[in-house]
Structure 1
Amino acid sequence: MKVSIVIPVYNTEKYLKQCIDSVKNQTYEDLEILLVDDGASDASPKICDDYAKQDVRIQVIHKQNGGLSDARNTGIKFSKGEYVLFLDSDDYWDDVYLIENLVDKLKRRPVDVLNFRYKKYLEIEKKMVSCLESLDEIEDNDKENILEKMIDHGLYIASACNKMIKLDFLKKNKLYFKKEITSEDIDWCARILIQCRTIGYCNSEAYVYRQRENSISHSLTYKNIYDLSNNIKECVELGKNIPKDSKFYELYYDFTAYQYGVLLLSNNMVNDVRIKEIMREMKQYQWLLKYHRIKKIKILYYVKSVVGYSNLTRCLKLYCKFKNY
């Protein structure tokens, strides 16, 4: 089984070698490593070319800057493996057995999408933090049963980087990332959830997401909130095609409700008067909170039930001030 690894590269010369080495050093060797240089202006393109000279499995694609989504889409189009993994160039894997473990699981039970866990490396604190709950391997052939267990434990998340995906499934269903938006993983993961026939979970926690700043709100802007709200609306529209009497309908909206919860919290971290207009419009989507298998959303739902929507938003604003977001 050949596995493609797509690594979008843009001005990450400080971290790029650690990223590429974490792939090169995998015990599983039947790989193609696609380094998509998205018009980087630092030493990243040269680093990519140097690595390609050392390892025939590495292919470098130089292109004009088009953003993360465009770089990932380019990687998908050039990939020739049976499955594909995404790795951001400032992140890395800290387990050389990651792909070997994922492939072994896929050989035992092939699926369209195999999910795994990740952790954060807090660069300023020099500290590693687990992000997702550890859960025993899920042995089930039913998509809804597996998804139910994953949703209950917060394990189906809006990230491209914790999923090993069948390449033919992506291309056949034209599951490409939307360009020029932030939170591009949200509706992409929603579309994957709807289109996939089979889904799986592996308890590996090898993906290391590097958080460079100690403040969550440091990089949040009006565009982040605007794009997040539009992604939620898109997810709601996509869900209208799911039969309402199915278990999957509720599970899908549990995933969407979590994104809505993120919006309710994160809008307080951006000081821009235009945010108020977005949140006035998004008030009509408060019904999403009734889908609350996820613990954090359950808290929001019960607070809203007791004090109302307006007081819920005030509580979240106070919470953000208290946490110094």
Structure 2
Amino acid sequence: MDEKISVIVPVYNVEQYLERCVDSIINQTYKNLEIILVNDGSTDSSGELCDELAKKDARIRVVHKENGGLSDARNVGIEEAVSDLIGFIDSDDYIDEDMYELLIDNLRETNADLSMCGHYDVYNNVSEAQVTEKKTWALNPEEAIKMVMEAKILSVTAVNKLYKKSLFSELKFEIGKIAEDAFIMIKLLDKCNIVVATNEKKYYYVHRENSITTQKFSTKFLNVIEAYEQNREIILDRYPTLEGVAQTRMNWAHFYVLDRLLLDKDYSDRILENKLISYLKNHSKDIIKDSLFTKGRKIGFVALLLNRNLYRKIIEKRGY
């Protein structure tokens, strides 16, 4: 008998994207779904649209709540879910019609606790190409953590995955944080016995102009460093052979925050800027030797060692 999957969709002010997202779930080849739309206090017509969409398909259930952010909406969805299997989709994204069929088939075949697939990055309605060689791996927690921390094939994103709900029995998404996926994913993988992963892309991750990557700088970006510091501590304690990739992510997180800070011409915090640059300089050898950093990133880093204004010009041109 087909197990039901609860698909949780947090909804906040996405009236122009929501129908495309929900249609891609309704049209899944895997039909035994519960679709939970969590309207997180939208101030546009998204809440009303959720109710209208629920009339189209009996599998859709709408939860209206006060605004609490993405993590809070996901946590409410988990509490509402009646199924033993759950997935998350962001309401401005969409999925291939066979994504959940692929994820659950892989989950069953390997008796895994968590099933992952690749995603397309979509810019200006244009998506990347599918992988040329499709592969599937059955992984232990250490191998899965290494894969998502390296982020060459799969990453810490919560959305392109299928989970046994029991993984969340003691874990919740952290409220009030950005990088909420990075805060929870390593902990989830650590609780698994088997993780199954395919590089086949089935999820369309839409990059919007007002997304986090193009926001004005705020100190909330420091959450990214906090998340990977937390992950590094878990890894050093539980999986010490992965210390190298844990440090890579720490270096990457410092680059990420520094770049956001330098790209915002209206924000200035010289003390934070100096602190971030000092950290990166202290890990110069790691960065230069690290195969996970691109040649362009390393050239930029050498420029940073020489002159931060030169580095700023490079990241503006490259769009890091």
Q: TM-score scaled to structure 2, two decimals?
A: 0.83
Tell me if 1:106 matches 2:107.
Answer: yes
Tell me if 1:228 matches 2:224.
Answer: yes
Relative to 1, partners in 2 of residues 1:276 and 1:64: Cα closer, same or farther, differing over 3 Å?
same
Q: Which amino acid aligns with 1:192?
A: L
Relative to 1, partners in 2 of residues 1:5 and 1:279: Cα closer, same or farther, differing over 3 Å?
farther
Q: How far did 1:43 drift?
A: 1.6
Tell me if 1:218 matches 2:217.
Answer: no
Which residue number corresponds to residue 165 of structure 2?
167
- Give a deviation string over 1:155-195, Cα, whole Å, max 9, x none: 23131112222211122xx2211111222221222322333
Q: How far did 1:17 drift?
A: 0.8
Which residue number corresponds to residue 11 of structure 2?
9
Provide the secondary structure at the position in 1 that maps to 2:237. Answer: coil
Cα pair 2:222 2:257 within 8 Å, conserved: no
Provide the secondary structure at the position in 1 that maps to 2:209. Answer: coil
- Give a deviation string over 1:113-139, Cα, whole Å, max 9, x none: 22211113223xx42235x96653234
Cα pair 2:137 2:198 within 8 Å, conserved: no
Larger displacement relative to structure 2 (182-191 or 9-18) = 182-191
Q: Which amino acid aligns with 2:98?
A: Y
Which residue number corresponds to residue 269 of structure 1?
263
Cα pair 2:116 2:197 within 8 Å, conserved: yes
- Give a deviation string over 1:205-246, Cα, whole Å, max 9, x none: 1211222229986324223433223323333333342253xx
Tell me if 1:295 matches 2:296.
Answer: no
Identity %: 26
Tell me if 1:202 matches 2:211.
Answer: no
Larger displacement relative to structure 2 (13-22 or 253-262) = 253-262
- Give a deviation string over 1:16-40, Cα, whole Å, max 9, x none: 1111110001010111111001011
What value does the CA root-mean-square deviation take over the aligned residues?
3.3
Cα pair 1:239 1:252 within 8 Å, conserved: yes
Relative to 1, partners in 2 of residues 1:68 and 1:150: Cα closer, same or farther, differing over 3 Å?
closer
- Give a deviation string over 1:21-77, Cα, whole Å, max 9, x none: 100010101111110010112221122112223322111111000011110111111
Provide the secondary structure at the position in 2 that maps to 1:118. Answer: strand
Aligned residues: 315
Q: Match for 1:319 among 301, 314, 319?
A: 314
Q: Which amino acid aligns with 2:18?
A: L
Relative to 1, partners in 2 of residues 1:117 and 1:50: Cα closer, same or farther, differing over 3 Å?
same
Cα pair 2:139 2:197 within 8 Å, conserved: no
Cα distance in 2 for partners of 1:215, 1:28 equals 30
Tell me if 1:31 matches 2:33.
Answer: yes
Relative to 1, partners in 2 of residues 1:294 and 1:224: Cα closer, same or farther, differing over 3 Å?
farther
Q: Which amino acid aligns with 2:152?
A: G
Q: How far did 1:314 drift?
A: 6.1
Q: How does 1:110-125 map to 2 (within 5 A)?
A: 110-123=111-124
Which residue number corresponds to residue 68 of structure 2?
66
Q: Which amino acid aligns with 2:172?
A: Y
Relative to 1, partners in 2 of residues 1:153 and 1:50: Cα closer, same or farther, differing over 3 Å?
closer
Provide the secondary structure at the position in 2 that maps to 1:59. Answer: strand
Cα distance in 1 for partners of 2:131, 2:259 equals 21
Q: Which amino acid aligns with 2:218?
A: Y
Cα pair 1:257 1:297 within 8 Å, conserved: no
Cα pair 2:13 2:44 within 8 Å, conserved: yes
Provide the secondary structure at the position in 2 that maps to 1:36. Answer: strand
Provide the secondary structure at the position in 1 that maps to 2:305. Answer: helix
Provide the secondary structure at the position in 2 that maps to 1:207. Answer: strand
Which residue number corresponds to residue 91 of structure 2?
89
Which residue number corresponds to residue 188 of structure 1?
184
5+ long unaligned stretches in structure 1: none
5+ long unaligned stretches in structure 2: none
